[in-house]
Amino acid sequence: MKPGPLLRALLASAAVAAASALASCDTDGTSAAVNGRHMQPLSDRMQGEIESKNMAKESPILVRIFKEESELEVWKQDRSGRFALLNTYPICRWSGELGPKFKQGDRQAPEGFYTITPGLMNPNSNYYLAINTGFPNAYDRANGRTGAFLMIHGDCSSAGCYAMTDEQIAEIYTLARESFFGGQKSFQIQAYPFRMTPLNMARHRNSPHMAFWKMLKQGYDHFEVTRREPKVEVCEKRYVFDAEASAKFSPADRCPAYKVPEEIASAVREKQRRDDIQTAELINRGTPAAPVKMGVDGGMNATFLTAVKSHGGHGASIRTAAGTIPPHVNPPAERESGAAGMGGVNAFSLASAESRLVPAPNSTVQVASAAPASSGGVGGFFSKFFGSKSEDQGTAATASQTSETSPSKSKRAAAAKPGQSAAAAPRPKLEQPAEAKASSTAKASASKEETNGEPQRNTASTTGALNGAAPTVPSGGFEGRFGAWN
Residue-wise pLDDT tens digits, 311-327: 887 778 999 999 999 99
> Cα 392 from chain centroid?
14
Asked if residues 390 and 377 have their Cβ atoms less than 8 Å apart, the reply is: yes
Three-class secondary structure of residue 379 per DSSP: coil
Q: Say whether 477 sits in a helix, a strand or coil.
A: coil
Q: Are 105 and 163 in contact (CB under 8 A)?
A: no
Question: In this predicted model, what pLDDT tens digit does every residue of 457-466 receive, in sequence order?
Answer: 333 333 333 3
Task: Check pLDDT > 50 for residue 429.
Answer: no
Peptide bond between residue 326 and the one before it cis (omega within 30 degrees of 0): no
Q: Measure the CA–CA gap between 135 and 115, rounded to whole angstroms.
A: 9
* pLDDT score of 8: 54
- Higher-confidence position of 122 and 462: 122
Highest mean pLDDT among 27-36, 55-64, 432-441: 55-64
Rg from Cα positions in the chain: 21
Q: Which of 217, 184, 132 is nearest to 397 (CA)?
A: 217
Question: Residues 466, 178, 84, 437: is their CA dihedral positive or negative?
Answer: negative
State the angle between helix axes of 262-284 and 210-226 in degrees (0 to 180), rounded to the nearest 10. Answer: 130
Name the range with the highest mean pLDDT among 198-202, 303-307, 308-312: 198-202
- One-letter identity of residue 162: Y
Model confidence at 294, in pLDDT bands (50, 70, 90)? Answer: confident
In the prediction, which pLDDT does 336 show? 52
Helices (H) and strands (E) in the chain, counts: 10, 16
Instruction: State pTM to two decimals.
Output: 0.70
pLDDT category of residue 79 using cuts at 50, 70 and 90: very high
User: Residues 134, 469: contact at Cβ < 8 Å?
Assistant: yes
Cβ neighbours, 10 Å, residue 226: 29
Residue type, 212: F
Is position 161 annotated as part of the catalytic site? Answer: yes
Q: Is residue 87 exposed (0-12), middle (13-18) or buried (19+ Cβ within 10 Å)?
A: middle
**Per-range mean pLDDT, top range of 82-96, 324-338, 392-406:** 82-96
3-state secondary structure of 408: coil
- Check the CA dihedral 264-267-268-269 and report its sign: positive
pLDDT in tens, 158-206: 889 999 999 999 999 999 999 999 999 999 999 999 999 999 999 999 9
pLDDT above 70: percentage of residues in the chain: 62
Percent of the chain with pLDDT over 90: 56
Q: Are 429 and 81 in contact (CB under 8 A)?
A: yes
Confidence band (pLDDT; 50, 70, 90) for 390?
very low
* pLDDT at residue 293, as a whole number: 83
Determine the Cα–Cα distance for residues 105 and 402; give it in Å rounded to an integer: 8
CA 160 to each of CA 6, 93, 308, 415: distance values in angstroms, whole numbers, following the listed order: 39, 10, 22, 24
Domains of the chain, residue spans: 5-299+336-481
pLDDT tens per residue, range 349-382: 333 334 445 554 443 333 333 333 333 333 333 3
Q: Which residue has the higher pLDDT, 356 or 476?
A: 356
Active-site residue (options: 38, 153, 222, 314): 153
Q: What is the pLDDT of residue 313?
A: 77
Helix (H, G, I), strand (E, B) or coil at 17: helix
| Average predicted confidence (pLDDT) for the chain | 74
Widest CA span in the chain: 63
Q: What is the DSSP string of 250-269?
A: -TTSPPPS-BEEHHHHHHHH
- pLDDT value at 15 more than 50: no
Assign 151 a pLDDT band (cuts: 50, 70, 90): very high
Residues sharing a CB contact under 8 Å with residue 371, sequence separation 6 or more, in sequence order = 235, 247, 248, 249, 250, 253, 254, 255, 256
Amino acid letter at 355?
A: S
* Each residue's pLDDT tens digit, 42-68: 999 999 999 999 999 999 999 999 999
Q: Is 81 exposed, middle or buried (0-12, 13-18, 19+ CB in 10 A)?
A: middle
Q: Could you say which of 92, 156, 161, 235 is catalytic?
A: 161
Beta carbons of 96 and 107 less than 8 angstroms apart: yes
Which element (helix H / strand E) includes 65?
Answer: strand 61-66
User: With bands split at pLDDT 50, 70 and 90, how would you rate the model's confidence at 475?
Assistant: very low
Query: Known catalytic residue: 255?
Result: no
Other beta carbons within 10 angstroms of residue 88's beta carbon come to 12
What is the spatial distance between Cα 458 and Cα 454, in angstroms, rounded to a whole number? 11
Contact 98, 206 (CB under 8 A): no
At residue 121, does pLDDT exceed 60?
Answer: yes
| Spatial contact of 290 and 278, defined as CB atoms under 8 Å apart | no
Which residues fall within 8 angstroms of residue 39, CB to CB, at 6 or more apart? 12, 123, 177, 418
Higher pLDDT, residue 93 or 383: 93
Q: What's the pLDDT at 387? A: 38
Residue 176 three-state SS = helix
Which residues lie below 8 Å from residue 474, measured CB to CB, with a gap of 6+?
Answer: 117, 119, 186, 375, 376, 377, 378, 379, 388, 389, 390, 391, 480
Q: Is 5 left (phi over 0), alpha (psi -120 to 50) or beta?
A: alpha
Backbone angles phi and psi of 235, in degrees to 5 = -155, 155
Q: What pLDDT is stored for residue 342 in this prediction?
A: 41
CB 133 within 8 A of CB 189: yes
* Average of per-residue pLDDT across 432-453: 40
For residue 91, list its beta bridge partners: none
The answer, yes or no, to whether residue 82 has pLDDT greater than 90, is yes
What is the per-residue pLDDT for 104?
Answer: 95
